[in-house]
């Protein structure tokens, strides 16, 4: 029998049992829809995070963090070590050590309560220098930012985020007012421009000189990070290498395997984010794809029922000259067509739901979450759904092809 006739016969067989066919592919539709949504939203999340990194950190910014380069979940604990000291900052500041460094800024942070009168706000506190305004693209909408003199003089001044201002002062003037942090009075000198939701919630932060933060608020003598900006993009890799050599000399480290710090450029950060989000997306897609297996088992069960119901049809076709191969092909094609249609419907539904979800998320997070159509997921979904139909359709099809035409015609 020609293949086109086999397709036609299989299609007519499915068409004659529309309700059963629809219920049969339900598991496949749900599975493909879930996979499409996970992959689309995963790619959207990755794009959003990468755009945020690009927007908040220049391409020339390099970060020196405590602890060796993380290679597993347990290694992240080392990132909270106190390995970055004043001597490291002084060594990096020497032009002879890092000749292409254009800006170097120590950074400390923690979570602290800021109080004004009876109002209290739990904020993320950053200890920075005046360079932070340019490095992180943050500037006050009112007042001024930190100055070099503020840092040198351990000044009791603070720049607050717009959310902090709203919570503590509402519509009242905040510039010039004094707030308490860790029992110490700080004069508000600036209010940051409203940024909205992001990787770093600047609207919910307070910024003070890092020297003041170390001595009076956090009580530490180390840095959480040291930020270095290269003078040009072409010198970023060389600057990373110079920083690593300088830090090893400062810590008397002979081998890179013993590093108690790690250096990361924006390109490294984006690569790491892409890897992490990609793994998470694939894992969630794999979990969602389990429903395809359940759908495949359902198809096999329904096809076995269909073989029993159509025993007389099989006998009649064999009596009229259909071979075992023709019967086998017909029922396999029915299973493949069922799952392929389920895959196609799942792709359409998954795309629709993902698009609607991207609109809702864009409104919720106020960051322009973009819809992304996962072409790889769509192609894989259609192929996998057809493969599921092939694999789980073989047994019922074989059972149909092995039926004796005489016994089949006698079947009631």
**Closest listed residue to residue 44, CA positions, set 287, 340, 367, 294:** 367
Average pLDDT, the chain: 79
CB count within 10 Å of CB 160 equals 33
Confidence of residue 106 (pLDDT cuts 50, 70, 90): very high
Say what the pTM is.
Answer: 0.60
Tell me the sheet residues that pair with 159. 190, 207
Q: What is the phi-psi region of residue 114: left when phi exceeds 0, alpha when psi lies from -120 to 50, beta otherwise?
A: beta
Least confident residue range of 7-16, 91-100, 181-190: 7-16
Q: Is the pLDDT of residue 74 over 50?
A: no
Torsional sign, CA 253, 255, 259, 265? positive
What is the per-residue pLDDT across 82-98, written as a single tens digit (0 to 9) for each?
789 999 999 999 999 99
Q: Is the pLDDT of residue 113 over 90?
A: yes
Q: Give percent of the chain with pLDDT exceeding 70.
A: 72
Average pLDDT over residues 251-270: 80
Beta-sheet pairing, 205-209 with 119-128? parallel
What is the per-residue pLDDT across 32-48, written as a single tens digit (0 to 9) for each?
888 888 888 777 777 66
Give backbone dihedrals phi and psi of 72, rounded to 5 degrees, phi first. -165, 170
pLDDT reported for residue 194: 85
Report helix, strand and coil shares of the chain as percent, to nearest 5: 60, 15, 25
Q: Which residues contact 116 (CB under 8 A, 6 or more apart)?
A: 168, 169, 177, 178, 179, 180
Average pLDDT over residues 279-306: 71
* Range 81-91 burial, b when 16+ CB lie within 10 A, else e: eebbeeebbeb
pLDDT reported for residue 307: 66
What is the per-residue pLDDT across 305-318, written as a single tens digit (0 to 9) for each?
666 666 666 666 66
Q: Is the pLDDT of residue 117 over 70?
A: yes
Q: What stretches of 124-183 show up as alpha helix (H) in DSSP?
A: 132-135, 148-152, 162-169
Least confident residue range of 28-42, 59-73, 317-331: 317-331
pLDDT reported for residue 55: 53
Top-confidence range, 132-136, 160-164, 229-233, 321-325? 160-164
Instruction: Let me know: does 94 contact 159? Beta carbons within 8 Å.
Output: no
Give the CA distances from residue 54 to residues 48, 199, 267, in Å, rounded to whole numbers and listed in that order.
Answer: 10, 11, 9
Beta-sheet pairing, 101-116 with 225-230? antiparallel
pLDDT reported for residue 259: 85
281 by DSSP, 3-state: which? helix
Average pLDDT over residues 405-412: 54
Which of 257 and 316 is assigned the larger pLDDT?
257
Confidence of residue 349 (pLDDT cuts 50, 70, 90): confident
Confidence of residue 157 (pLDDT cuts 50, 70, 90): very high
Residue 107 token pair = 């950074």
pLDDT reported for residue 11: 59
Give backbone dihedrals phi and psi of 406, rounded to 5 degrees, phi first. -70, -45
Tell me the sheet residues that pair with 207. 126, 159
Top-confidence range, 21-25, 250-254, 374-378? 250-254
Q: Is the pLDDT of residue 270 over 70?
A: no
- Tell me the residue length of the chain: 412
Average pLDDT over residues 289-316: 69
- DSSP class of residue 255 equals S
Residue 235 buriedness (CB in 10 A; 0-12 / 13-18 / 19+): middle
């Amino acid at each position: 029998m020609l293949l086109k006739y086999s397709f036609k016969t299989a299609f007519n067989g499915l068409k004659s049992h529309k309700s059963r066919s629809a219920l049969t592919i339900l598991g496949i539709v749900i599975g493909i829809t879930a996979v499409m949504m996970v992959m689309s939203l995963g790619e959207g999340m990755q794009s959003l995070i990468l755009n945020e990194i690009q927007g908040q950190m220049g391409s020339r910014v390099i970060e020196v963090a405590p602890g060796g380069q993380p290679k597993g979940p347990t290694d992240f604990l080392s990132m909270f070590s106190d390995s970055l000291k004043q001597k490291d900052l002084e060594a990096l500041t020497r032009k002879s050590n890092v000749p292409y460094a254009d800006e170097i800024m120590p950074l400390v942070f923690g979570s602290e309560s800021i109080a004004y009168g009876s109002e209290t706000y739990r904020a993320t506190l950053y200890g920075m220098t005046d360079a932070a305004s340019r490095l992180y693209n943050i500037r006050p909408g009112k007042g001024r930012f930190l100055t070099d003199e503020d840092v040198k003089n351990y000044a009791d001044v603070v720049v607050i985020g717009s959310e902090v201002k709203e919570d503590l002062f509402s519509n009242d003037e905040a510039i010039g007012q004094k707030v308490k942090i860790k029992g110490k009075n700080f004069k508000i000198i600036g209010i940051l421009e409203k940024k909205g939701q992001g990787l770093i919630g600047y609207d919910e932060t307070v910024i003070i000189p890092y020297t003041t933060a170390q001595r009076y608020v956090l009580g530490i003598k180390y840095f959480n990070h040291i930020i270095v900006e290269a003078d040009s993009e072409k010198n970023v890799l060389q600057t990373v290498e110079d920083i690593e050599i300088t830090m090893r000399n400062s810590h008397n480290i002979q081998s890179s395997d013993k590093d108690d710090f790690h250096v990361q450029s924006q390109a490294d950060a984006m690569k790491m984010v892409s890897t992490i989000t990609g793994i998470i997306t694939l894992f969630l897609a794999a979990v969602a794809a389990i429903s395809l297996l359940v759908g495949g088992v359902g198809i096999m069960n329904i096809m076995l029922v269909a073989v029993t119901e159509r025993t007389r049809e099989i006998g009649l076709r064999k009596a009229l000259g259909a071979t075992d191969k023709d019967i086998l092909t017909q029922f396999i094609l029915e299973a493949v067509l069922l799952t392929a249609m389920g895959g196609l419907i799942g792709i359409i539904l998954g795309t629709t739901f993902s698009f609607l979800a991207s609109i809702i998320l864009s409104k919720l997070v106020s960051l322009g979450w973009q819809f992304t159509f996962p072409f790889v997921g769509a192609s894989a979904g259609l192929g996998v759904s057809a493969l599921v139909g092939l694999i789980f359709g073989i047994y019922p099809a074989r059972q149909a092809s092995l039926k004796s035409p005489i016994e089949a015609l006698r079947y009631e």
